[in-house]
Structure 1
Amino acid sequence: MKRTTFFTLNTLGAKRGGLVKAVIKRANAVAAAEPDRAVHLLTLGLQTQIDSVREEMIQLDLLNPRVQVTNLIHTLGQQKANEKQTKSRFLKRLNRHFIVFDDVSRSENDSYRVFDNGVYVQYVRFDAMDRLVFIDYFSDTRHRLKREEYLENGQLFQIIHYSTTTNKPVSRQFLHGNGTCYLTLWHKMNSVDWSHLFYFGKNEQLQFNDPAAFYTFALNQLLAQYPAVLLSSEFRDRLPNLPKRNLDAVVLDVSHSDIRKIAFGHSNHFVAPFDETASISGVWNTLFERLGEWSAIITATARQATHMTQKFGHDSLFHSIPHAFTNRVAGNIVSDAVNPNRFVVVSRIQVKKDVAESIRVMRQIVDRNPHAFLDFYGFGYNDPLEKELHALIKELKLTEHIHFKGFVTDMQEAYAGAVATLFTSQSEGFGMAILESMSYGIPVIAYDICYGPAEIIEDGVTGRLIPKRETQQLAEAAIDLMEHPETRRTMGLRAVGALEPFSDQQYETNWVNLLDKLDSSMV
């Protein structure tokens, strides 16, 4: 019997980073290879219209239609039948009692400001299918008091109450289809972190002072419906919805008569300098302190699995399954015209990604070639780190040489015609951007860090490996490829030809074999 399989994420969407992409890739592969296995992506964060997210991703060919998407908080409530209210009917009713203005700042023409005798009282938004998404309510002094969020079926699902001084959420109510509340969530004062949750069940009322305990309770409720399950723990981060204990603790505390629990190591498990000479990061403590309770621990590189077994033993517990990236146009792009001045970075703006280092490298490249430029694909969080990055670009006089392109789903747009991809992370679990770039015939010049670059790149053959923090060496390697186009072309061709260990077929086989083993009564 195939276990019903749940791969966990915090949120799901078309525009997400490498971890989310990797989990989606796995779910798609397993669903395609094993039609008799039920595969779920289970999200923990607050996503009201999760069905629309799934629809969009299927339409974009990012998600296999066999993969089910479920939000854990949704599973505790009871939905009612579809009673979608049309946008025209809703606006007609509003106009009978209020004055309604289009929000002209949004080109989508989907949002409206509502006034009562000249006082701004509501802000209303619809989605692309004219379904009501939310309504904001305001005080006479234009402070947001609360937001009502709606499901695709027209049901009021969540009410968020806001502080009038900070405009941050203070509490949230989650509602059944009949309008009664089944869950109240409190935020810490002046913070988005969760603090207390109150569950109002039919036969029990429970208080949770730790969100991790709430999630374990909700998982127990959900998984009890299935005779045999597999549940994954995918991230160790401290998040607003898991501020005290991380997902490993949540998963390990789940009780079920026939369950297999797996953990995937998407990231490096050391603190700075992020190699085997360093201490173990505290966010991994739960995973390692309770090793005997896992059915399997998977890493993306054999090197990381080896480091773990050397430290903790349990050799049979650790498995290495590299990520995969199969490019449908591999090889074709290699023959595309190369812009001899163009370099690429594909990354989030995050501390361990150290995008600022690629900016310092570009300063040295531009010193040699004033026409050189860098196209940056990815996203930031509009936080101090992103502001510091823009300040560094200005300080190094690179404003005309650094182009921010945003997030793209068509990776050919990012890589086509580049001399090379610069990869300057301090710490990785794998480095999907390396695989993506090589699959398009674009060599990668990377720091040799834990983990990923050395497991994917053969130095001088399919790309370049540079000792970490050697900025000048990395810049010189980039300049060398820029000035020797035939060397660069040969390296790109070899990069494409070196990806068999990372093929979809090999990836699928690895995961099916592991899951089949976990399906059995003995692990």
Structure 2
Amino acid sequence: MNFFVNVDLSNASSGIEHSEIKRLRLFQKYNQPAKIITTYYRNNWAAGPGKFGVQMDEIINIFDYFGDNDNDFYRSNTIEEYCQRNHYIQQRYLGQDKDEFGYLVYTNNGQQALVRTYVSNQQVSSVAFAPIGSQKPVYGEAYDGRGFLSSKYYYDQNGHAKKQDILNTKGETFCTQVFKDSNSVALYKLRFRGQKYNFRDLRDFQALFFDSLNRDYGESNLFISDRVECTEGLTHMQTPAKKVVYIHNQFGGNPRTSPLTGGLNFNYRFALEHAELFDWLICPSQFEAEEINQRFQIADKVIAIPGGTAQTDMPQLTMKERDRYQIMMVARISGEKQVPQAIKILQQVRQQVPQAHLDIFGGVTEQKEYEQVKSLIGTNNLRHAVKIRGIIPNLDAEYDQAGLLLLTSISEGFPLTFLEATSHGLPLVAYDCRYGPRDIIRDGKNGYLIHQDDQKTAATKIIKMMSDEKLQQQLSEGSYQTAQRFDDEHIWKLWQSVI
């Protein structure tokens, strides 16, 4: 079995999770059994996989596994049903906070309770009990989205959680976490398969999970860590297994300085400094693999395998079938994506090509950056020329509509949007950041590689393209050809040395 190790699948906007899912599908296509395993407690974790099209039998959560939960369990647990079942009085609706509704409830023992329910399915998510008139909880409950009580929280006199009991679908407590403070656990107590365990180290707690799965599937299985929170746990395993770390992002700590001499990205520091503990370190870019080896001299451990694949069976559209003047950008609004620079580039382009417009697809992860983007749009009178489209799960139709793809990042790992764009024949214009663009872009063949932060040259290249439909068509054809270098067959061959 091939296990892809993550914390959970709740972050639908993360490229890491999308890359992991693409790997899962690639392995399945070539008849290699694979599952995603997750190591965090989330009372609504089971709702996450569906956002990615992942089925419940394709994923194993550590607490579902240790608790031997019934995968088919479901019970309706709305606010009305919860109050009726417990003989509580629903007092009033308190409003909506993000993806939850809040209600004030009075219990039958002189307490009040704040009950939260999921907006998506109306199921109760959590309950915090406190003396009437007090804001400090004394006891709390968390309900799994499938309808069962999944944990109980016990608080000290200051309202800080001191202990958490985790329950299974049978209502049995199988795990207890004793908190050292609000940010760390001092002790894990576990009952699993007739034995009792006490762990003071999260890595050992995770390792029992990994070792048990490894034994269940005959040992010597492959474990690929996609998140730093899981990496060290693999090194605490006692059973024989292949251990791999996938380096999704730039390994350097500061994108403005050379990773050959500067600090390291904390997500990958442990793996890079203890490479001997792993069978492979995989990164998506050949350029990054070369620089990792140049710094650490571990060529026998580092291999480059892109985090996704390109499709070569898409209908090939001509520029006459597209909006040639639409610039597409697929990036969350955050500092490293430098979306404000894309706005400034568009402003320069429109001075000579007034039809040019920009559509931005992605979530907002930094509010300050978002405010700057909105300010630039407003002060430069670009409201009709820039659309912030948010997260759209399937962008196929958008790729087929656009005239080119723009990327202004200061740092990448290997942008999946490039593989998607080449599948749809979009010319690429991107800064030559670490890493990814130079692995894909062939300057003048499928787009243009721009020196970092050179907005003027980026605008000039886009103007050149939009002013010459024949050139734009040639670059589009080059992009379709690029997809063949990254199709399933080529990427799968790279995985052979690992599996």
Aligned to 1:21: 18
Give the superposition deviation at 1:107.
13
In the alignment, which of 69, 79, 89 is matched to residue 98 of structure 1? 89
Give the C-alpha shift of residue 435 in structure 1.
1.7
> For 1:83-232, what aligned pairs fall within 5 Å after superposition?
84-85=75-76, 87=78, 90=81, 93=84, 97-99=88-90, 113-116=103-106, 121-125=113-117, 132-137=124-129, 140-141=132-133, 143=135, 145=137, 148-151=141-144, 154-159=147-152, 172-176=164-168, 177-180=170-173, 182-184=175-177, 186=179, 188-189=181-182, 193-201=183-191, 203-208=195-200, 211-228=202-219, 229-232=221-224
2:60 maps to a residue whose letter is T
Aligned residue for 2:225? Answer: 233
- In structure 2, the CA distance between the partners of 1:263 and 1:53, relative to structure 1 (3 Å rule), is same
User: Residues of 2 paired with 1:391 and 1:357: CA distance?
Assistant: 13
| Cross-structure match for 1:239 | none
SS at match of 1:416: helix
Match of 1:74 among 64, 77, 85: 64
Cα distance change, pair 5–376 in 1 and its aligned pair in 2 (3 A): same
User: Aligned partners of 1:107 and 1:252: how far apart in 2?
Assistant: 38
Contact 2:310 2:484 in 1 (8 A): no
Question: Which of 265, 269, 272 is equivalent to 2:255?
Answer: 272
Structure-2 separation of matches of 1:280 and 1:107: 37
Distance in 1 between residues matched to 2:19 and 2:400, nearest whole Å = 22
Task: Report what 1:324 is aligned to.
Answer: 309
Q: Distance in 2 between matches of 1:159 and 1:380?
A: 33
The residue type paired with residue 68 of structure 1 is E
Structure 1 residues 437-476: aligned runs within 5 Å: 437-476=421-460
1:343, distance to aligned residue in structure 2 (A): 1.5
Given the alignment, which residue of 2, 15, 19 partners 1:5?
2
CA distance in 1, matches of 2:149, 2:397: 40
Q: 1:335/1:508 Cα in 2 relative to 1: closer, same or farther (>3 Å)? A: farther
User: Which residue number corresponds to residue 299 of structure 1?
Assistant: 283
1:47 aligns with 2:42: yes
User: Paired residues, what number?
Assistant: 488
**Letter of the 2:166 counterpart:** F
Task: Give the Cα separation in 2 of the matches to 1:263 and 1:103.
Answer: 45
Q: What is residue 252 of structure 1 aligned with on the other side? A: 235
Q: Is the partner of 1:499 in helix, strand or coil?
A: helix
The within-5 A match list for 1:398-413 is 398-413=382-397
Q: Is the 8 Å Cα contact of residues 83 and 154 (structure 1) preserved in structure 2?
A: yes
Once the two structures are TM-superposed, the CA of residue 274 in structure 1 deviates from its matched residue by 5.3
Between the aligned partners of 1:488 and 1:187, the Cα distance in structure 2 is 60
Of stretches 4-13 and 66-75 in structure 1, the one that deviates more from structure 2 is 66-75
| CA distance in 2 between partners of 1:385 and 1:365 (Å) | 22
Shift of 1:346: 0.5
Q: What corresponds to 2:477 in structure 1?
A: 493
Secondary structure, in 3 states, of the residue corresponding to 1:422?
strand
Quick check: 213-222 or 119-128, which moved more? 119-128
Aligned equivalents of 1:328, 1:213: Cα separation in 2: 46
Inter-partner Cα distance in structure 2 for 1:168 and 1:475? 54
Change (3 A) 1:113 1:142: farther
Cα distance change, pair 465–71 in 1 and its aligned pair in 2 (3 A)? same
325-334 or 420-429: which moved more? Answer: 325-334
- Partners of 2:4 and 2:185 in 1: how far apart? 25
- Please list the CA deviations of residues 228-259 of structure 1 after superposition, one character each: whole Å capped at 9, or x if unmatched: 221112234xxxxx4xxxx4322223221x21
Change (3 A) 1:375 1:140: farther
Alignment of 1:315-394 (within 5 A): 315-322=299-306, 323-326=308-311, 328-332=313-317, 336-340=321-325, 342-381=326-365, 383-394=367-378
Residue identity matched to 1:440:
H
Structure 1: stretches of 5+ with no match in the other structure: 237-241, 519-523
* Contact in 2 for aligned 1:87/1:126 (Cα 8 Å): no
- Judge conservation of contact 1:274–1:427 (CA < 8 Å) in 2: no
Structure 2 equivalent of residue 521 of structure 1: none
Q: Give me the whole-angstrom Cα distance separating, in 2, the residues matched to 1:104 and 1:273.
A: 44
> Which blocks of at least 5 consecutive residues in structure 2 are unaligned?
none
1:268 touches 1:450 (CA, 8 Å); kept in 2? yes
1:76 alignment partner, SS class: helix
Distance in 1 (alpha carbons) for counterparts of 2:356 and 2:163: 51
Q: AA paired with 1:156?
A: L
CA distance in 2, matches of 1:375, 1:138: 48
Q: 1:465 and 1:497 mapped to 2: Cα distance?
A: 17
Aligned-partner SS, 1:315: coil
Determine what percentage of the aligned residue pairs are the same residue: 17
Q: For residues 140-186 of structure 1, give each alpha carbon's deviation from its aligned partner in whole angstroms, at most 9, with x where no partner exists.
A: 44748365333355321123568999x99776432243342512153
Q: TM-score, length-normalised on structure 2?
A: 0.84
The 8 Å contact of residues 345 and 376 in structure 1, kept in 2 or not, is answered as yes
